[in-house]
Amino acid sequence: MTEFARQIEGFGAYLRDQARFSLHSVKGYLTDVEGLRRYLEENGLDLGSPGTSSLQAVDTQWIRGYLKTLHESRKKSTIGRKLAALKGFFRYLLREGVIDRDPLVGFSTPKQESPLVTFLSVDEAFRVLGCLPEEGILPARDRAVMEVLYSSGVRVSELVGLDWRDVDFSLGVLRVFGKGSKERIVPVGEVALAALRDYADHQRGRWGRAARGDEPVFLNRFGTRITTRSVARIVEKYLRLAGIPVRMGPHGLRHTFATHLLNAGADLRSIQELLGHVSLSTTQRYTHVNLDQLTAVYDRAHPRA
């Protein structure tokens, strides 16, 4: 193993054990750093035999060449993600004393184009939730998944990470762990709580697993924790059954949750807290999809409109 590869392993351990990144995020970061390693190797940079290091040789010219290849074949969002991973990697090397200068100083993340947010209208959301089947363990699970996503606005990663101890039926809240393992408390509606209770009864009957403590809330047909991809398939399935011609996954229900709150008069700061956004600017994109509503409010309320 080269010294470069060994440092990538160390970076992964740091992200997982100290920075407390999710396994999905760690995998993504390491894949992006590995892309740079392959580029350097393919273009003739000696990556160092075991016990030696060539990381000092990675300068701005090498980074510029690598980013140029990305610009030729990648979207801005992909380049931005890869650049964030590389910046994290070289900051880690600097802290560990492996290098004495950061070759990414001065490189800025490309400005992202803000895509329009995809969401369902209230009628569409109720049509989807209304077509969920009533009987059976997996239908009960699917109903709970859909109701919780729409009722709480949690990320799909937060949903699949739920354990039963994170569900407080008496207070009507969920404890979720968002990006960077940040904990927050999220309210959840009575309909979703009822769906969770019903699913808990089915879960105990099907797998004999207690719906409490550190037992996972959402299980697959084999009785193990459900995956984010499985949740995406559930969402796609019921959108299709409801005859809604919108291509969206679980994140679309998160957008729907936020948009419906905004339409009902909730302020952006509260929505920011509910969604777990670090920056209010992230939440503000929901105002763009409600421009007609905001304009109508302005026309009614402003004396010089």
pLDDT along the chain (305 residues), means of 10: 84 90 87 90 70 72 87 70 89 90 79 63 91 83 95 94 95 88 89 93 78 91 92 94 87 90 83 82 67 60 58
Give the CA radius of gyration of the chain. Answer: 23
pLDDT at 8: 92
pLDDT at 264: 84
* Cβ contacts of 15 within 8 Å, gap of 6 or more: 21, 25, 26, 29, 30, 88
CA 52 from chain center: how many Å? 38
Residues in the chain: 305
Alpha-carbon distance values, 91 to 11, 38, 87, 173, 238 (Å): 10, 20, 6, 38, 44
Q: Nearest Cα to 154, choosing from 278, 254, 39? A: 254
Work out the burial of residue 279: count CB atoms within 10 Å of its CB; fewer than 13 is exposed, 13-18 middle, 19 or more buried. Answer: exposed
Q: Which amino acid is at 293?
A: Q
pLDDT at 298: 59
Indicate the SS3 state at residue 183.
strand
pLDDT at 51: 46
Q: Nearest Cα to 84, choosing from 104, 114, 56, 61? A: 104
Q: Cα(275)–Cα(13) distance, rounded to whole angstroms?
A: 28
pLDDT at 207: 75
pLDDT at 202: 83
Q: What is the pTM of this model?
A: 0.60
pLDDT at 52: 44
Q: Cα(126)–Cα(33) distance, rounded to whole angstroms?
A: 43
Q: Cα(161)–Cα(218) distance, rounded to whole angstroms?
A: 8
Q: Cα(172)–Cα(192) distance, rounded to whole angstroms?
A: 9
Structure tokens at 295: 């304009």
* Cβ contacts of 234 within 8 Å, gap of 6 or more: 142, 145, 146
Give the active site residues: 155, 179, 251, 254, 277, 286
Q: Terminal CA-to-CA distance of the chain, rounded, Å?
A: 68
pLDDT at 75: 61
